[in-house]
Amino acid sequence: MGQPLKAIEMKGISKAFGSVKANEDVELTVYNGEVHALLGENGAGKSTLVNMLSGIYHQDSGTVRVNGNEVRFSSPKDSIAIGIGMIHQHFKLVDVLTAKENILLGRSSGLFRNSKQLTKEIRAISDRYGLDVDPDKKVYNMSVGEKQTLEIIKVLYRGARILILDEPTAVLTPQEIKRLFRIIRNMKEQGCAVVIITHKLNEVMEISDRITVLRRGRTIGTVDTDKVQVGSLIEMMVGKKVDLAIRKEPPAQPMRPLLEVDNLHVVGHDRKSALADISFTLHEGEILGVAGVAGSGQKEICETIAGLTKAEKGRIFFDGDNIIGKTPREIIRLGIRMGFIPEDRLGMGLVGSMDIVHNLILKDYQNQPGIFLKRGPCAEKATAIVRRLDINTPNIYYPVKKLSGGNIQKVLLGREIDSDPRVLITAYPVRGLDIGASYKIYDLLNEQKSRGAGVLFIGEDLDVLMDLCDRIMVFCVGRVSGIVDPSKVTKEEIGLMMTGGKEDAAHELDQHQ
């Protein structure tokens, strides 16, 4: 393709947050008409780097050139104006507005909202790139896939020629990923430069032309995708040779039922059905995975079992006793040992501003006699957990929110497994963790399994679910669409089950609302 133009050229980029150096002397060059993957572990500085391209952060030092000209962004507005479009990992859309209104947002031209013209322009862009979204649909009624499509249309409408996608596949089904990749290839053919951030190697190999690997805030190197092996990519990412296979022992035999959920119905906060007709059995010594599009009822099933959410109807048997309708306090009083790692670690599982000791007290204090709080036993326990899980903290009286993501998760997990739980519920336990920390968590879960605990594992990465779990239960809009043996199905089959057998999850979601 001749000598293509450099769309982006970043040189000597450094950026620090307090004492944490997120980027140090990073280099990145992206050509027009190429798909460039930015690869690295969580915390390697990928998002920081692209957020400087989108004008959200400012580099402490280094230069950025776009199409050959040096640029200096003081806000996202400047970045948009120069033709950079960023699709953030957490969509930056306003829920109560329609698709059209979201597209219009921040456009400075014109005083009033000219609807008809805009609708026409949206249609034109949609047709050109093969995108589809209803301009008058409110964002809160959209599926994850639709929201992402809307984000893409939004940046294209602003005339973006350089697209940056931050972890775009994390929340998509295999089918949706395929469709996204079609769109990306389409844009590449139109001469756009596309930067895609991900830590999933198979996707990198499939979609990208070149790959830049970051590790601990530094550039390790840029390689051509067709000239590189997955093994050496991993080595570049992690810094050493690692085996990414997850250890899986067969589940305990015979399979003794531990937790039986029978015909469970739960109504969500918005008074819509969140879970309908859920029935499954969790056995001792197994890891039961839960797969599904985000928001398919994962949060509700966890919270209902843990006694935090009331069920409309149905029964949950623990060792033969019905625990439905029991509060967490009553469950503890029944002597049922249950551990729960919620999705929102600092917002729900822990108190960020409190230290490790007080976060341990959180679970413990209700069993203490009298009206006074005893800290002593928990301080000892804290020391033990810090040592056992190798938690990197200055001391046990350090506020947990100041710890790194992996260490925060270890504090939470450490507390939950401390009581030797018989049931362990974990929601996205490795989200945001680096590879080392993730594998530590997998090991701990396997340890619990071999100890005889039943583990419910809510996951989002289908590869991990298939490697780690003994069985996978697939959720589709609040219903169980099947429980499968991961060795007997493909990812694509699970993906289809997640969306009710249809290509487009959006329609499915619509019908249920």
Partner 1 sequence: MEGFLAATIVASTPLLFATVGEIVTEKSGLLNLGVEGLMLIGAIMGFVTAFATGDPLLGVLGAAVAGAAGGLIFAFLTVSLRANQVVTGLTLTIFGAGFASFMGKTYVGLVVPKAVKSFFSPVSIPLLGDIPFIGPVFFQRDVFVYFGYLVVILVTLYFYKTRAGLNLKAVGESAAAADASGVNVTLYKYVHTCVGGALCGLGGAYMSLVMMSVWQENVVAGRGWIAVALVIFASWNPIKAFVGAFLFGGLSILGFRLQSMGIHISQYWVDMLPYAATIVIIILSSRKNRKENQPPSDLGIPYFREER
Partner 2 sequence: MNWISISKREDLPKNREGVIRAAAVVLSIVCAGIVIWILGYNPIQVFPSMVTGALGSEIRLQQTILKAIPLIVTSLGILVAFKMKFWNIGGEGQILMGALAASYIALNVDGLPKPVMLLLMAIAAMVAGGIWAFIPAFFKAKMGVNETIFTLMLNYIAIKYVTYLQYGPWKAPESKGFPKVANFEQNAIMPELFGIHIGWIIALVCVVVVYIFINHTKKGFEITVVGESRETARYAGMNISSIIIIAMLISGGLCGLTGMIQASAVEKTLSVNLSAGYGFTAIITAWLSRLSAIAVLFVCIAFAILLQGGTYIQISMQIPASVADMIQGIILFFVLGSEFFLQYRVNLPLWNQKVKEVA
In the complex, the residues that contact partner 1 under the rule CB under 8 A are: 17, 54, 56-57, 75-77, 80-81, 86, 88, 91-97, 101-102, 104-108, 110-113, 138, 140, 154, 270-271
Does the protein bind partner 2 through residue 56 (CB under 8 A)?
A: no
Verify cis geometry, omega within 30 degrees of 0, for the bond prior to 369: no
Closer to partner 2 by CB, 187 or 341: give it: 341
Structure tokens belonging to residue 376:
């002593």
Tell the smallest beta-carbon distance from residue 393 to partner 2 (Å): 13
Q: Rounded to whole angstroms, how far apart are CA atoms 387 and 352?
A: 21
Cβ proximity to partner 1, 69 vs 108, nearer residue: 108
| Cβ atoms of residues 374 and 362 within 8 Å | no
The least CB distance from residue 38 to partner 2, in Å, is 24
Q: Bridge partners of 14?
A: 61
What x-and-dash track marks residues 164-193 binding partner 2 by CB under 8 A?
------------------------------
Partner from partner 1, partner 2, none binding residue 344, C-beta < 5-8 Å depending on class: partner 2
CB 393 to partner 1: min, Å: 19
Which conformational region is residue 43 in: left (phi greater than 0), alpha (psi within -120 to 50 degrees), or beta?
Answer: left
Contacting partner 2 (CB under 8 A), which of 71, 246, 332, 464? Answer: 332
Euclidean distance between CA atoms 425 and 104, whole angstroms = 42
Other beta carbons less than 10 A from residue 161's beta carbon = 19
- CB closer to partner 1 out of 332 and 346: 346
Cα–Cα distance between 23 and 356 in angstroms, integer? 29
End-to-end CA distance of the chain: 48
Contact 382, 306 (CB under 8 A): no
Considering beta carbons, is residue 98 or 438 the nearer one to partner 1?
A: 98
The string of DSSP codes covering 143-207 is -HHHHHHHHHHHHHHTT-SEEEEESTTTT--HHHHHHHHHHHHHHHHTT-EEEEEES-HHHHHHH
Least distance from partner 1 to the Cβ atom of residue 91, Å: 8
Minimum CB distance to partner 1, residue 199 (Å): 18
Residue 434 has which token pair? 């680096």
The least CB distance from residue 273 to partner 2, in Å, is: 22
Q: Which stretch binds partner 2 (CB under 8 A): 220-228, 366-374, 440-448, 485-493?
A: 366-374
Using an 8 Å Cβ cutoff, are 237 and 39 in contact? yes
C-alpha dihedral over 477, 479, 482, 484, to 10 degrees? Answer: 80
Instruction: State the nearest-atom distance from the C-beta of 339 to partner 2, in Å.
Output: 12
CB-nearer residue toward partner 1: 110 or 191:
110
Q: What are the φ and ψ backbone dihedral angles of 150, each rounded to 5 degrees? A: -60, -40
Give the torsion sign (CA, 336, 337, 341, 346): positive
CA angle 84, 90, 96 (to 5 degrees): 100
Q: Which is nearer to partner 1, 148 or 426 (CB)?
A: 148
246 is a contact residue toward partner 2 (CB under 8 A): no
334 interacts with partner 2 by CB under 8 A: no
Query: What is the chain's alpha carbon radius of gyration, rounded to the nearest angstrom?
Result: 24
440 binds, among partner 1, partner 2, none (CB under 5 to 8 A by kind): none
Q: Which does 54 bind (CB under 5 to 8 A by kind): partner 1, partner 2, none?
A: partner 1
Distances (CA, A) of 463 to 244, 289, 359, 441, 487: 11, 11, 33, 16, 12
| 202 contact, one of partner 1, partner 2, none, CB 5-8 Å limit per kind | none
Q: Which of 372, 376, 390, 488 binds partner 2 (CB under 8 A)?
A: 372
In degrees rounded to 5, what are phi and psi of residue 416? -70, -30
Residue 329 lies near partner 2 (rule: CB under 8 A): yes
Bridge partners of 288? 456, 471
Which one, 62 or 257, has the nearer CB to partner 1? Answer: 62
Q: Looking at residue 70, what DSSP letter applies?
A: E
CA distances for 22 relative to 79, 219, 507, angstroms = 21, 12, 41
Q: Does 361 bind partner 2 (CB under 8 A)?
A: yes
> Between β-strands 35-39 and 210-215, what pairing exists: parallel, antiparallel or unpaired?
parallel
By CB under 8 A, name the one of 114, 232, 353, 450 that touches partner 2.
353
Q: Which of 344, 447, 485, 492 touches partner 2 (CB under 8 A)? A: 344
The candidate with the shortest Cα–Cα distance to 324, out of 338, 336, 311, is 311
Among partner 1, partner 2, none, the one that 124 touches (CB under a kind-dependent 5 to 8 A) is none
170 or 354: CB nearest partner 2: 354
The nearest distance, CB 432 to partner 1, in angstroms, is 12
The least CB distance from residue 462 to partner 2, in Å, is: 28
Which residues would be at the binding site for partner 2 (CB under 8 A)?
Answer: 16-19, 58, 74, 306-308, 327-329, 331-332, 340, 342, 344, 347-354, 358, 361-363, 365-366, 368, 371-373, 402
